[in-house]
Every structure is written in structure tokens, then in C-alpha cells.
């Protein structure tokens, strides 16, 4: 099924999805382009601490006098970036694992699915916290030696490990699809014509999985975003002075007190984050309803 046509099918079912897609596009544009036009940088400190939203600071300022709008957009950059790259990692692992497991079948399949079940029953996020906390130092040394400065080592660890925890559902679903696909006549024909396993997997099975991959891709992005913000909130996430939506909400939550309310600190990052997650989940749900053959009845 070609991508444009499936998108048309989806949108015809639920026009609201266009609004979601449009909103996400705007957030991405703001995060990548808009951030350069706020008049401040995300790590620019000033004396103007905890100012209410005004003409100069549309979203107000935080405790250190950072312009909150710039921080929120920086947070968008990081949160979306981590989610996007993490999703690619999880996608690669999940799809490969699921395809091999389903295609191999029998004992190998049994064993591989047993491993998935075991990982399912472990507190993976807790393990990721341990991994990131402990490997932070070694990764920093390694990055320093290799001369990599463009990405903080901790951010790299978070992306990789979150990607490596969120592939289980994808692997299961892909495996289920492959189990069905591999029994179909055209696969058996290719096999009879002497097509190698790799060829069958890549040229004949994979193209039939793209629809379902897109669906679970859309649902993995918000899952990883939530995980990242969760870790940032606990202080195991992106390092200061960088900001993610998780750290911004954490900053705001630390200032909650009965005497004075700094509502803008909480509302703006939390609002942006919730709306983005909502749009992503909406889009994923809509795509699944339209494209997943098991849901469509």
C-alpha cells in the first residue's frame, strides 16, 4: 500500500488527525526554527528571575532568569529528538528480532519469545536508570577521547537504552504478522524458485510490514518521550543547562508552595508536552484503527 494512499484512507476516517499532524508539524518547526527568533538563548542567565509572562518574555522567566519560551522550545528539541532517535533504535531492534523469530519458527521462535517475555517481566526503566547513572562517567571519557562534543554523553546513553527497552511490543506484533505472511503462496513460490531467506525477508516480507510498522512507530514515539521525561524529572535525564520538558516540569514542581504561585513555570512546559503526547497518541490510534488488519473488521 502506498504511503500517500493509506494516509488518505486514514484521514477520511477521522479528519481530526490532520489537526494533530499539523500541530506536531508546528511544534517541530518552532523547536527547530522558531527557537532562533525568541531573542534569547536557552542557557542565557539574567537577573530577571521568576517574571510573569509579559511582552519581553512571552512565557515568563524561571528561577535563574532564563527566558521560559526559549527553554520550552529547547525542551521540545530535546524531547522530540530523543524520542525520534530512540524510536529508530527500538524500531531496528524490534523489527529485526520479530522478523527473525517469526520466520525461523519452531524452537528458535519459542526461545526468542521466551526472552521477550522475561524482559517484559523486568522493571526495565529501573534498569535504565542504573545503566545511565553508572555509565555516565565512562561514556563521558570515551566521548572526550573521541572528540565528540555535539551531543552530551548522557543524552546518548538515554537515547540508546530507552530505544533498547521499548522494542518488545514491536517485536511481538511483527512476529505475529510474519507467522501469517510466511505461509502465504507468494512466499512459498519465492522459496521454491530458490530465493534465499534474506531475500525473502527483505524483499517480500518486509514490504508487507510497513503499514503496521508505521502504526507502532507512532505509538513508540510518545512512549519513549514519556520515559525520557520521567528520567529527566528524577534527575537521571538530560544534564543542565540543557532542558527537556521533563526537567522543566521538575523545576516548576520544586517551586510549588502555598504562598506564591508560579503557574507559568508549570503550565507552559506541561501544556506543550501533554498536547504533543496527545497528538501523537491520537495519530497512532487513528493509524492503527485504519491500517492494522486485526483491529479493522
Partner 1 sequence: MTALIIRRLLQAIPVLFIVVTLTFVLVRVAPGNPFSTEKKMPKEIMEELEKQYDLNGPIHHQYEQYLWKIVHGDLSISTQYRNRTVNEIIAQTLPVSMTLGSLAYFLALLLGITGGAWAAVRHNQFGDRGIMLVALLGISIPTFVSAPLLVLLFALKLNILPAYGWGSVDQILLPAFCLSLPFAAAIARLTRGSLLEVLKLDFVRTARAKGLPENDVLFRHALKVAILPIIGYSGPAAAGILTGSIVIETLFGIPGIGPFFVNSALNFDPFMTSGVVLVFSAFLIFFNLIADILHFVVDRRVKME
Interface positions with partner 1 (CB under 8 A):
118, 120-127, 129-131, 133-138, 141, 222, 226, 229-230, 233-236, 246, 249-250, 252-253, 256, 258, 261, 263, 266, 270, 273-274, 277-278, 280-282, 285
Rounded distance between C-alpha atoms, residue 206 and residue 187, angstroms: 12
Rounded distance between C-alpha atoms, residue 278 and residue 275, angstroms: 5
* Least spacing, CB of residue 229 vs partner 1, in Å: 6
**How many CB atoms within 10 Å of residue 183?**
9
* Least spacing, CB of residue 69 vs partner 1, in Å: 19
φ, ψ (nearest 5 deg) of residue 61:
-130, 165
Distance from chain centroid for Cα 18: 20
* Least spacing, CB of residue 77 vs partner 1, in Å: 18
Rounded distance between C-alpha atoms, residue 245 and residue 153, angstroms: 19
Which CB atom, from 124 or from 208, has the smaller least distance to partner 1?
A: 124
Which CB atom, from 23 or from 206, has the smaller least distance to partner 1?
A: 23
Which CB atom, from 38 or from 79, has the smaller least distance to partner 1?
A: 79
* Least spacing, CB of residue 141 vs partner 1, in Å: 8
Opening angle at CA 129, ends 126 and 135, nearest 5: 140
* Least spacing, CB of residue 161 vs partner 1, in Å: 12
* Least spacing, CB of residue 206 vs partner 1, in Å: 28
Which CB atom, from 22 or from 120, has the smaller least distance to partner 1?
A: 120
Radius of gyration of the chain (CA): 22
Which CB atom, from 189 or from 278, has the smaller least distance to partner 1?
A: 278
Nearest to 96 by CA among 176, 171, 199: 171
Which CB atom, from 25 or from 127, has the smaller least distance to partner 1?
A: 127
* Least spacing, CB of residue 255 vs partner 1, in Å: 10
Which CB atom, from 155 or from 181, has the smaller least distance to partner 1?
A: 155
Q: Left (φ > 0), alpha (ψ -120 to 50) or beta: where does 46 sit?
A: beta
Q: Left (φ > 0), alpha (ψ -120 to 50) or beta: where does 196 sit?
A: beta
Preceding omega of 241 cis (within 30 degrees of 0): yes
Amino acid at each position: 500500500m502506498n504511503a500517500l494512499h493509506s494516509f488518505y484512507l486514514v484521514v477520511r476516517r477521522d479528519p481530526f488527525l490532520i489537526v494533530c499532524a499539523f500541530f506536531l508539524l508546528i511544534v517541530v518547526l518552532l523547536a527547530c526554527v522558531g527557537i532562533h527568533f525568541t531573542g534569547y538563548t536557552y542557557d542565557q542567565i539574567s537577573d530577571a528571575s521568576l517574571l510573569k509572562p509579559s511582552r519581553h518574555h512571552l512565557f515568563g522567566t524561571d528561577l535563574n532568569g532564563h527566558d521560559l519560551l526559549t527553554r520550552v522550545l529547547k525542551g521540545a528539541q530535546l524531547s522530540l529528538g530523543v524520542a525520534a532517535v530512540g524510536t529508530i533504535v527500538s524500531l531496528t531492534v524490534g523489527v529485526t528480532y520479530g522478523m527473525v523469530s517469526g520466520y525461523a519458527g519452531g524452537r528458535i521462535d519459542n526461545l526468542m519469545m521466551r526472552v521477550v517475555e522475561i524482559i517484559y517481566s523486568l522493571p526495565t526503566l529501573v534498569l535504565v536508570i542504573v545503566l545511565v547513572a553508572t555509565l555516565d562517567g565512562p561514556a563521558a571519557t570515551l566521548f572526550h577521547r573521541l572528540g565528540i562534543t555535539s551531543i552530551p554523553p548522557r543524552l546518548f546513553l538515554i537515547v540508546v537504552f530507552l530505544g533498547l527497552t521499548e522494542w518488545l511490543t514491536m517485536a511481538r506484533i511483527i512476529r505475529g504478522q510474519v507467522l501469517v505472511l510466511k505461509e502465504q503462496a507468494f512466499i512459498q513460490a519465492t522459496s521454491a524458485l530458490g530465493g534465499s531467506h534474506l531475500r525473502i525477508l527483505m524483499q517480500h516480507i518486509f514490504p508487507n510490514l510497513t503499514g503496521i510498522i508505521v502504526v507502532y512507530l507512532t505509538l513508540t514515539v510518545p512512549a519513549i518521550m514519556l520515559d525520557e521525561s520521567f528520567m529527566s524529572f528524577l534527575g537521571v535525564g538530560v544534564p543542565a543547562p540543557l532542558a527537556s520538558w521533563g526537567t522543566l516540569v521538575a523545576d516548576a514542581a520544586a517551586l510549588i508552595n502555598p504562598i506564591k504561585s508560579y503557574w507559568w513555570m508549570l503550565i507552559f512546559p506541561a501544556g506543550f508536552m501533554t498536547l504533543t503526547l496527545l497528538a501523537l497518541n491520537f495519530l497512532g490510534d487513528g493509524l492503527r484503527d485504519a491500517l492494522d488488519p486485526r483491529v479493522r473488521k
